Amino acid sequence: MELCQLSDLQDGEARGFCVPGFLHKVIVVRRHGQAFAYLDACPHYTGGTPMAWKKDAYLNGEGTHLACHSHGALFDIETGRCVLGPCLGQSLQDVPVHVTKHGGIEIAALASSEEEA
Amino acid sequence: MNIIGPDYLVFGVDDIAACTEYLTAFGLKAVDVSDKGGLFEALDGTGIIVRRKDDPGLPAPLPTATMLRQQVYGVRDASDIAAIEAELGKDRKVHRLADGSIETTDDLGFALKFQVTKRRKLEMPAEKINAPGAPAQRKPNELGVWQDMPAKPRTLSHTVLFVPDLDRIAKFYCERLGFVITDVLKGSGPFLRPKACDDHHALFFIGTPEYMKGIEHLAFHMGGPTEFMLAGSRLVKAGYESFWGPGRHIFGSNWFWYFNSPLGTHFEYDADMDKHDGNWVAREAPAGPETAQVFLFQHRDKWFPSG
């Protein structure tokens, strides 16, 4: 399933998508021309909680990290690993995506959905 | 020591523009706010102060993700400041500022300030309700709600902190500053009210590892359940992210609705909290979903079952 075009996102911009079959939104963030995607589910609390402070506002103010705006946790954009905050050492759940030859960001394998629980 | 409650909470942030947008949408009024930050106040003048995180005027940050830089408590008069200065001066540095306020830190390193309160006296009615068997609170033809009814935070209510040593911090606030424990959620921590405050809690602690030390949430009191629901619904409709609520807590009886924020903490609307006095005996309950709320709802877009 295609979420958007890579060119729809500025470098360093993130956006959240509701994807059929997923309980949480999927965050797509563009960095250095690549697309990374994670579940919008901060690992601090069981089950994960939404991370934006407003629709699509997933980055910290400086735009250097994905942030959970519950308690300010910061996550490495390229690995999803928490580098500061209540879930230190834990990671966001990665959602495999690839860029198609037409420049679309596509979820690689819906079958890998975590969301069946 | 007549501590009334929090006058201001001070944050060091990385995006003043985002915080200005958020705090204004939350219903606070910007006072002398520039690109360096400023005060966002509730109707009684209590509120949130934001500054850039590298502002040299701020107390040092904690080595965690928290953006909280200082809690400013309001007291009744100058004699209360002197009493706090004398007590805390016994074992820590207390810095007196030109305006008569004092700054220091608590036993776990949270920066504190005490000032003669700057809150304004509010004279506003509580939400009025009509119920069979009781005198009507609203006059004939007086409406209970309308779509654009004002719903502004009235006053800064309470602060909740993640702390690595519950016993030590509770002892500090109770024995050194005269706070009283009103209830305890075992597994989370104690609710406290300062002596000159009759709200169920102005402060609550949650025990956590050291690396989580910081602010968990802060709350503002609304004028009643209807204003509370209106304000929260408006935030959701504008695209802000709900975290928990709306619901009603058991300890404190307050309605709650928590939202994420660009200040790295939850902002809560609350309404209709219990009042207590010295006759109250603290309760204890194990922390968990059943003890945290009597009911919980989730927001849904407006709809209409026509036909």
Could you say which of B212, B259, B262 has the minimum Cβ distance to residue A86?
A: B212
Show the domain range for A98. 2-112
Residue B72 lies in a domain: yes
Query: What domain count does chain A have?
Result: 1
Q: Is A88 on the interface with B (CB under 8 A)?
A: yes
pLDDT band at A108 (very low <50, low <70, confident <90, very high): confident
Specify the amino acid at residue A67: A
Residue B68 lies in a domain: yes
Counting one residue from A and one from B, how many pairs have CB atoms under 8 Å apart?
Answer: 73
Residue B61 lies in a domain: yes
A24 contacts in chain B (CB < 8 Å)? none
ipTM higher than 0.85? Answer: yes
Distance to chain B for A24, nearest Cα, Å: 13
CATH code for position A32: 2.102.10.10
| Yes or no, beta carbons of B262 and A57 under 8 Å apart | yes
A73 contacts in chain B (CB < 8 Å)? 65
Q: Which residue of A has its CA nearest to B261?
A: A53
What are B108-137's pLDDT values in tens digits?
Answer: 999 999 999 999 999 999 999 999 999 999
Is B107:B168 a contact under the CB 8 Å cutoff?
yes
Show the domain range for B199. 3-120+152-296
Residue A27 lies in a domain: yes
Q: Which residue of B has its CA nearest to A74?
A: B65
CATH code for position B282: 3.10.180.10
Residue A117 lies in a domain: no
Is B248:B258 a contact under the CB 8 Å cutoff?
no
Query: What domain count does chain B have?
Result: 1
Residue B109 lies in a domain: yes
Q: Distance between alpha carbon B222 and the CA centroid of its chain, in Å?
A: 11
**A22: pLDDT strictly greater than 90:** yes
What are B42-98's pLDDT values in tens digits?
Answer: 999 999 999 999 999 999 999 999 999 999 999 999 999 999 999 999 999 999 999
Neighbours of B91 (CB within 10 A): 9
Residue A54 lies in a domain: yes
Residue A98 lies in a domain: yes
User: Which 3 state secondary structure label does DSSP give B287?
Assistant: coil
